[in-house]
Amino acid sequence: MPAPSPGDPSYLAFLSAVVDGAARPLVVMAADGVITWASAGIEDVGGYPPAQIVGTNVLELVHPDDVARLFDTYDYMSSNPRGTYLPSTFRFRHADGTYRPFEVTTRDLRDDPLVGGLVVTMADVSDRALLDEVLESVASGTPLAATLGAIVALLDTQLGERAALVAEPGPDGFAVAVSDDVPLALRGDVPIGIDDEPASPWDAAARSRRPVVLEGLGTLDAGWREPAAAGGFAALWIWPVEHPATGALAACITVWSRRAGPPSPGRRLALQRAVRLVRLALERHAYDAMLLHAARHDPLTGAANRTRFFEELRRIVVDGRRPGPAQPGVHRTDGDAAREAGIEPSSTRAAVLYLDLDGFKAVNDRRGHRVGDLVLQVVTRRIAAQVRPDDLVARFGGDEFAVLCGDLEDKGEAGVIADRLIEAVSRPILVEGDEVAVGASIGIAFVDGRIDDAAPAVLPPTVDALMEAADRALYEVKSAGKGAWRVAAVEA
């Protein structure tokens, strides 16, 4: 049906049905969902000329996963006619074939003879949906790289340009770059940091901690200018991001624009918002890392705790096994199921060194827990200094420690490490001007259950059997006079 004209008596009523005025795209739908009229603005947001969309049933445009909710909305409108309904969000198919979220506000004018339908205003809320995705990612602790990818997707939508988020690789695995749409050669580094390389805009942003805007590419080094020009880019905008916890440079947001000139005020606002979102994501990531560290480390000494030690031990015991040739599909497992599955012994040489301090209780009783805590901290540092970089040092509580040694050259290497540990721990410790002496006794158990390489191969023992064997060996050392180490056979 044609739209009411300004001369019609209900024209003002018709306009009043348009939420936010006539600037938003508008369609009129009959009771059966067929679009009977559309404003010119529908082409701007949906890509369809009004003449093309009129006569189409809305069910042909709505996302299949949203159809049931749309029917629920229609049912409600049928029970509550002549109303103005709160905005709802549905995904509609754009003319380019993609589905985009639209906020829909409806006024029921089916009884109006000049309208005869539902007056629907629509607003593309793609950026709002992407923002919700970013905030949900941050709130739920989604992996950092995925959250950063969502921020870049939001920025791409808001700017209408291609953005990349680049960062100096760090120990926490912070992504080097997040954007498939920007060629690798144009993502930049943070910072370049090579003296004989020409200064780059990323260097300037890294040093000043302020945005760098190149309205044209004429001053850009040819190594950047040429691939940028080949990609059709005409300007470069860089926004640095400082880490919220340390204040150090964490990343740079890089935007290659196809239009020469600076970013508009709206685009600057979007970039500033993106910086805040990245900082928020980094803050959540740091908080999660802190909680994870606290859950897996001893708060007094900083060594791994029992939880982390047993995680790593189970990984070695389970993942070090391989299915036997008769049963290639057997899953790696632990305990009696491995025996039934015919699991062969692991080729990985690994050992548990279970360590108990000699004389520590006397130090604690005479000097108090404060001195005892200092001694434990010193002992932990000494143990860590004597093992190999990839060995795991854990404190089980009290004066009990354990070291997980993997990839040993031979079984004798575990004894060499144990000798070093006993010597290091037994050196006097200076505490508040006085020397304190403790010693160490160690029980050793090998993951493959053999005391030496010449012994017959047996099934890898369970984690419990390993620890029980190491504990037996430690008890035998303590009973025999302390200050030594012993290897125990594992009773798998």
pLDDT at site 303: 94
**Six token digits for residue 377:** 């901290």
Q: Of 34, 111, 106, give the one whose Cα is nearest residue 77.
A: 106
More confident residue, 299 or 175: 299
Res. 18 pLDDT band, cuts 50 70 90: very low
- What residue ranges in 110-246 does DSSP mark as E strands? 117-124, 162-166, 177-178, 212-214, 235-242
pLDDT-derived band at 336 (thresholds 50, 70, 90) equals: very low
Half-sphere exposure of 55 (CA within 13 A, CB side): 3
Q: Minimum mean pLDDT among 45-54, 258-267, 308-317, 319-328: which range?
A: 319-328
Phi, psi at 105, each rounded to 5°? -120, 130
- Long-range (24+ apart) CB contacts under 8 A made by 40-45 are 42/122, 45/102, 45/122, 45/123, 45/124
**Token pair for 124:** 């593309």
Local structure of residue 319 (DSSP, 8 states): H
Q: Which of 354, 332, 353 lies closest to 460, judged by CA? A: 332
Tokens of 72: 């629920």
* Cross-strand bridge partners of residue 163: 255
Most confident of 156-170, 177-191, 222-236, 352-366: 352-366
DSSP string, 446-473: ETTS-SSTTSPP-PPPPHHHHHHHHHHH
Query: Given a cut of 60, is residue 19 above it in pLDDT?
Result: no
Residues 471-487: tens digit of each pLDDT: 999 999 999 999 999 99
Six-digit token string for 92:
């509609």
Give how far Cα 122 sits from Cα of 22, 61, 156, 158, Å: 11, 13, 22, 18
Residue 257 has pLDDT above 60, yes or no: yes
CA distance 118 to 112: 10
Task: Name the pTM for this structure.
Answer: 0.61
Q: Where is average pLDDT lowest: 313-327, 395-409, 416-430, 431-445?
A: 313-327
Q: What is the mean pLDDT of residues 19-47?
A: 78
> What are the tens digits of pLDDT across the range 142-194?
888 888 888 888 888 888 887 777 765 454 445 456 777 777 777 765 444 44
What is the per-residue pLDDT for 458?
Answer: 53
DSSP H stretches of helix in 37-79: 42-46, 50-53, 67-79
List of residues 6+ apart from 198 with CB closer than 8 A: 221, 223
Query: Average pLDDT of the chain?
Result: 80
User: What per-residue confidence (pLDDT) applies to 3?
Assistant: 52
- The CA-based angle 203-207-208, given to 5 degrees, is 115
Task: Work out the burial of residue 465: count CB atoms within 10 Å of its CB; fewer than 13 is exposed, 13-18 middle, 19 or more buried.
Answer: middle
Q: Decide which of 447 and 372 is more confident.
A: 372
Which of 58-67, 69-78, 463-472 is the least confident region?
69-78
